[in-house]
Chains A and B, each alone.
Chain A
Amino acid sequence: MSRRLLVLIPYLWLTALFLVPFIIVLKISLSDYAISIPPYTPQLDIAGGWAAVKDFFTALDLENYWFLTEDDLYWKAYLSSLQIAALSTLFTLIVAFPIAYGMANAPDHWRPTLLMLVILPFWTSFLIRIYAWIGILSNDGFLNQLLQWIGLTSEPLTILNTNVAVYIGIVYAYLPFMVLPIYSTLEKLDGSLLEAAQDLGCSRTSAFWLVTVRLAKPGIIAGCFLVFIPALGEFVIPSLLGGSDTLMIGKVLWEEFFSNRDWPVASAVAIILLILLIVPIVLFQRNEQAQREADQ
């Protein structure tokens, strides 16, 4: 009895607040825009009996999805989100790997402190960490002051409100997600493997590529997904650091909903974003599964 209750309570909660809302989004994405409250038709009218239910289903169509393919704003936003997410994942990897490598090679008694230093920003407000970059990247900001003081530029560079600022923001915000999985694979790495490789005639560089990087691969892949997946639907970073020409799908969805009040199109945008996310999520799950099996 109590065991059944234990299953039932979280089950019902998630069904009511995760599954049902999702079905509503799906349904509204197939509805039409209407100037009323709520701003879409058709409404399901169960009191009307079977005929009304049948009317309801026949009134649903894929019109909003056709609309998304016709207006190039949307597919450009999807493409540019994919591009920004992929490139910033690569940049995050380039920044994160040396940090994780340094941590793994650090003396044992430093490691807990280093680990805490990487995790600490994660606990600090995301919004505040992004906000901090506005003051650094603006035209009279600290970066421009520094560059002019060194003499690298005479004119301030425009960085804030461009895609460059978005890349910087994503790398900064998601760095811990990349460092931690790479560190955890590098930490387990058996140092004698490197010795063996060098005894067998590898140079230190090729031993690094053949042993260290190869063995860190599961961590690198996990880190890449952990950055890519949230970056694709990111809203805060493009809206605070990006410019009006920064197209990211999270921002488009937000504006479609709050500014244009077009709920059916906003819902269709959401459904396509989810479809795009399925591939990386499934690949990520496979990687995790493979790693778990390798650990056993």
Chain B
Amino acid sequence: MRRFTWFNAISLTFGFAFLYIPMVILVIYSFNASKLVTVWAGFSTKWYGELLSNQAFIDAAWVTLKVAVISSTVATILGTMAAFVLVRSGRFFGRTLFSGMIYAPLVMPEVITGLSLLLLFIAIGLDRGVFTIVLAHATFSMCFVSVVVSSRMASFDRSLEEAAYDLGCTGFDAFKSVTLPIIAPAVISGWLLAFTLSLDDLVIASFTAGPSATTLPIKIFSSVRLGVSPEINALSTIIIALVTMGVVAASLASKRAIVRQHREEQLADK
């Protein structure tokens, strides 16, 4: 007896308005001709032009992208391994410590993660730059990846793997042709999560980036501290557009994959 009442409709309307109006305003005012961000002075795309000719932003965007691609790939590999260990390995020496180290970074305040990694890099005399940001991002995102992958693996039917062994597969073959395809959706969403966490991160990158490397969030933060600027609005609009397209595409793709899997399972049952 669920009924969609007027109260429900109103709260959904207000709720989504609250979530989306700030972003809509941001997008609209990125096309404002005036330098003042709160006064509309006609349509213009000049801020996009200025943004694209601002070399500092372009450089920062490249650094950010590079860090995100490398760190999320490393995080996905390590996180998947960690998920295997968590779900499959049973008891081993130091297991409690291991699972503690997987879950702790998820709830650790970013300022502490950043501070501790910076102090480590200084203690071992590692020059700060792109490499240290990659290390830092890979470490905290591998924990998110392993949570995502291990929740998928918990519902995994191990008899499929055993069947592969019985049919003569070696360990790696069985992993490649049976296990990996089944956990693939979780691995992919883990990678996407790690990628966006890295793109988004300000605090940890600020601690672990030396003067030689500036990521986009660091650049945005330092210019936003001086006040609202239409260039940042233009940049935000580009980011929002890319993310929206990415999320919509990913959800359509996963919907199609689910339908295909469902169909294959039905065929297999016949």
> Which of A95, A99, A131 is B232 in contact with, Cβ under 8 Å?
A131
Flag if A3 contacts B89 (CB, 8 Å): yes
B179 at interface by CB-CB < 8 Å: no
Report the separation of the CA atoms of residues A236 and B244 in the bound assembly, to the nearest whole angstrom: 23
Q: What is the CA–CA distance of A179 and B89 in the complex, to the nearest angstrom?
A: 35
Residues of B within 8 A of A124 (CB): 23, 239-240, 243-244
State in angstroms the CA–CA spacing of A18 and B105 once bound together: 8
Q: Which of A224-252 contact B (CB under 8 A)?
A: 229-230, 232-236, 239-240, 250
Is B220 a contact of A127 with CB atoms below 8 Å?
Answer: yes
Binary interface profile of B, 78-100, with partner A (CB < 8 Å = 1, else 0)? Answer: 11011011000100101001100
Closest residue of chain A to B227 (Cβ to Cβ) is: A134
Q: Do B8 and A106 touch across chains, with their CB atoms under 8 A apart?
A: yes
The contact string, 1 if C-beta is below 8 Å from chain A, for chain B 217-239, is 10011001101100010001001
Chain B residues within 8 Å of A116, by CB: 247-248, 251
User: In this complex, what residue of B is CB-closest to A96?
Assistant: B15
CB < 8 Å: which of B37, B82, B116, B202 contacts A236? B202
Complex CA distance for A254 and B220, rounded to whole angstroms = 18
Chain A positions 84-141 with a Cβ under 8 Å from a chain B Cβ: 95, 98-99, 101-107, 114, 116-121, 123-129, 131-136, 138, 140-141
Candidates A14, A179, A240; contact of B101 at CB < 8 Å: A14
Q: CB-nearest residue of chain B relative to A257?
A: B115
B residues less than 8 Å from A106 (CB atoms): 4, 8, 12
Q: What 0/1 pattern do residues 55 to 89 of A give for CB contact below 8 A with B?
A: 00000000000000000000000000000000000
Least distance between B181 CB and chain A CB atoms (Å)? 19
- Among B49-57, B118-126, B159-167, B260-268, the one that faces the other chain is B118-126
Quick one: given A14-B98, A135-B228, A140-B38, are A127 and B111 in contact (CB under 8 Å)? no
Bound: A95/B85 CA distance, A: 39
The one of A7, A25, A28, A131 in contact with B85, judged by C-beta atoms closer than 8 angstroms, is A7
**Does B12 lie within 8 Å of A25, measured CB to CB?**
no
Say whether B1 contacts A194, CB under 8 Å. yes
Q: Is the CB of A281 within 8 A of B107?
A: yes
- List A contacts of B4 (CB < 8 A): 102, 105-107
Query: How many interface residues does B have (CB within 8 Å)?
Result: 78
B120 contacts A6, CB within 8 Å? no
Report how far A160 CA is from B265 CA in the complex, Å.
56
Residues of A within 8 A of B146 (CB): 10
Chain A neighbourhood of B111, CB < 8 A: 233, 235, 250, 253-254, 270
Q: Does A15 contact B (CB under 8 A)?
A: yes
CA of A2 to CA of B248, assembled, Å: 39
A116 to B254, CA, bound (A): 13
Q: Is A185 an interface residue (CB 8 A)?
A: no
User: Does B41 count as interface, using CB distance less than 8 angstroms?
Assistant: no
Q: Is the CB of B228 within 8 A of A125?
A: no
**Chain A, Cβ-Cβ closest to B89:** A7
User: Interface of A with B (CB < 8 Å)?
Assistant: 2-3, 6-7, 9-11, 13-15, 17-22, 24-25, 28, 38, 95, 98-99, 101-107, 114, 116-121, 123-129, 131-136, 138, 140-142, 145, 172, 175, 179, 191-192, 194-195, 229-230, 232-236, 239-240, 250, 253-254, 257, 263, 266-267, 270, 273-274, 277, 281, 284
Pairs across A and B, CB under 8 Å, 7 listed: A7-B92, A15-B101, A17-B120, A99-B16, A125-B199, A128-B26, A191-B2
